[in-house]
Amino acid sequence: MRILAIETSCDETAAAILEIKNSYFNLRSNIISSQVKIHAKYGGIVPEVAARKQIEMIMPVINKAVICLPGKNLKEKIKNINYIAVTQGPGLITSLTVGVETAKTLAFTLNKPLFLVNHLEGHIYSALLNKNQNYGKLIKIKFPVLALIVSGGHTMLVLIKKNNNKIIGETLDDAVGEAFDKAAKILNLGYPGGPIIAKLAAKGNSKKFNLPRPMLKSHDFNFSFSGLKTALLYLVRDLKRQKKLSTQTIQDICASFEQACVDVLIAKTLSAIEKFKPSTFILGGGVAANQLLRQTLAQKIRTEFPKIKILMPEMKFTGDNAAMIALAGYYMIGSQIKFGMTKKNNYKRVKAEPNLKLSA
C-alpha cells in the first residue's frame, strides 16, 4: 500500500509518501516547506500570507515527495500511488483549502480514493512512527490510550478506546503553544516562541519567579493559560520599571514560565491516568518537542504508573508534517472508514473544515 499525504493546516506545506506492508512502514519521503522566516517579522502567522505561499509551494513540494516512486517521469511516478490522504481540519481555512482542493484534483484526475484526515489524529498517530530510521515495524497500541495533544492551536487530553475518542479535558482559552508564542512576544524574543523560550530556560532558574499554575486544583482535566500569560506580562512590566532586563533575568523568566506550563500539563495528565487507567500514553503536537515536558512527564509516569507504555514522537515528527497524516490515513483505510470520496462519490461535497472535531 502506497499513500500520498498532504498537510497544509497552518503555515507549513508538506507532502509525504508512506508505504506499508505487513505492519512494516517505509517512509519514502517527508517533505516540509516551512514559513517560519516569513512570519517571524510579523511575530506570528498571518493566514493570508501563509495561504499565498502554500499556493506557490504545494505542487513543488508534492513533486519532490513523489520523485522517489518508480517511473520514468513525474506523470508515471504519481500514478504509482494507491491512496491520497489530506488534512481536512482543524486549522486555518485558507491554508486547509489549498491542501484539500489540491488533493481533490489529484484524486479525481488519477482516479484514486481520497481520505480526509483530522489533523489532531495525525499528531496522535505520529508517535507510532517512533523510529530513528524512516522504516521499521509499526508500534502496536494497547487500548485504552490517553493522549496529550499540545500545540500552537490545541491543548487537550483525549481518551481513546478501540472504537471511539473522547476529549476529557481541553484548554478554555489559549493553547500552550500559543502561550509560549505570546510570552516570547512580551519579552521581545522573536517567533516561534516555544524553541526560543526553551533554549533560554535551560540557562535559567525556574524558581526565581513565582508564576501561577492556572486550574491546577480545578478537579477536572481542563487547562487555562491566559492567566499565566497575564501574570508574565505584569511581571515583565514591573521588572522593566526598575531597570533594563539582564540576560540572566530573561533566562530566569523563561525558566519560570516554562516550568509553570509543564507543571500544569503534567499534573492534569497524571490525574487523568489515575482516573482512567489507560494502558498506553501518547504525547503529540509541536510542544511535544519541549525537552523539559518530554523528560519530566516520562519520568513521572514511569515512577507512578510503571505498567503504562509511553509513546512520544521522534523530534522530526512533533511539528506539522505529512507523514503523520499518511499514517492516520492508513488506519482509516484499514478500518474502511471512508470519510474521503472515491470515484463514485461527489467530490463537490469534500471541503476544508477549520473547526473539525475529533471523531467520537
Closest to 220 measured CA to CA, from 278, 180, 272: 272
Using CB atoms within 10 Å of the CB of residue 282, give its burial: 0 to 12 exposed, 13 to 18 middle, 19+ buried.
buried
Question: Where would I find the H helices in 162-246?
Answer: 176-186, 193-201, 226-242
Q: Does the annotation list 181 as a binding residue?
A: yes
- The CA distance from 109 to 343, in Å, is 10
- The CA distance from 323 to 19, in Å, is 10
Q: Does the annotation list 194 as a binding residue?
A: yes
Place of cell 526565581: 208
- The CA distance from 236 to 241, in Å, is 9
Query: Rounded to whole angstroms, what are the CA distances from 359 to 32, 116, 340?
Result: 27, 12, 14
Q: Does the annotation list 173 as a binding residue?
A: no
**Residue 144: half-sphere exposure toward Cβ, Cα within 13 Å:** 15
Q: Does the annotation list 153 as a binding residue?
A: yes
The number of beta carbons lying within 10 Å of the beta carbon of residue 110 is 16
Q: Does the annotation list 149 as a binding residue?
A: yes
Residues in CB range of 205: below 8 A, 6 or more apart: 251, 252, 255, 256
Residues in CB range of 163: below 8 A, 6 or more apart: none
Closest to 114 measured CA to CA, from 90, 67, 82, 77: 82
- The CA distance from 285 to 223, in Å, is 16
Q: Does the annotation list 290 as a binding residue?
A: yes
Residues in CB range of 253: below 8 A, 6 or more apart: 187, 204, 208, 209, 232, 235, 236, 239, 245
- The CA distance from 290 to 298, in Å, is 12
Q: Does the annotation list 119 as a binding residue?
A: yes
Place of cell 499540545: 150
- The CA distance from 275 to 107, in Å, is 44
Binding site, by residue number, is: 119, 123, 149-153, 181, 194, 290, 320
Binding-site sequence positions for substrate: 149-153, 181, 194, 290
Annotated binding-site positions for Fe cation? 119, 123, 320
